Amino acid sequence: MYAIVESGGKQYRVEPGKVFFTERLVGKSEGETVTFDRVLMVKTDDGKTLVGKPYLDNVEIVGSVIEHGRARKVIVMKYRPRKNYRRNLGHRQWYTAVKVEKIEIK
């Protein structure tokens, strides 16, 4: 069984027992449970596929926050030829690791 869930403007494929990394969830500390109600699609174990328009109303994803952290640094280089213009920037994105406990179909 798996589901497609939307969080932080991005879509993730989640399965029970798996960990996925999403944009930082502000206000949630490590060990807290979090529910995602913006579920786009669910594929059940018996082969049924439920598709929302745009979301499924009767499905929730329940998970627990494992950690908050920052991803690896991404280097951004700006360069203009023949103008002596060079800028070197770095960026580290915040993330939240969530372990999916269960997919609830009501």
Select from 103, 99, 104 the least CA-distant residue to 33.
99
Distance (Å, whole) CA 64 – CA 36: 11
- Mean residue pLDDT of the chain comes to 97
**Per-residue model confidence (pLDDT) at position 79:** 97
pLDDT for 2-23, tens place per residue?
Answer: 999 999 999 999 999 999 999 9
Contacts for 44 with CB less than 8 Å, ≥ 6 apart: 1, 50, 105
40 with 4: CB under 8 angstroms?
A: yes
When divided into structural domains, the chain yields a total of 1
This prediction has a pTM of 0.86
pLDDT digits (tens, 9 = 90+) for 36-72: 999 999 999 999 999 999 999 999 999 999 999 999 9
How do strand 39-43 and strand 2-7 relate by DSSP bridges?
antiparallel
Residue 25 structural domain = 2-105
What's 9's DSSP letter? T
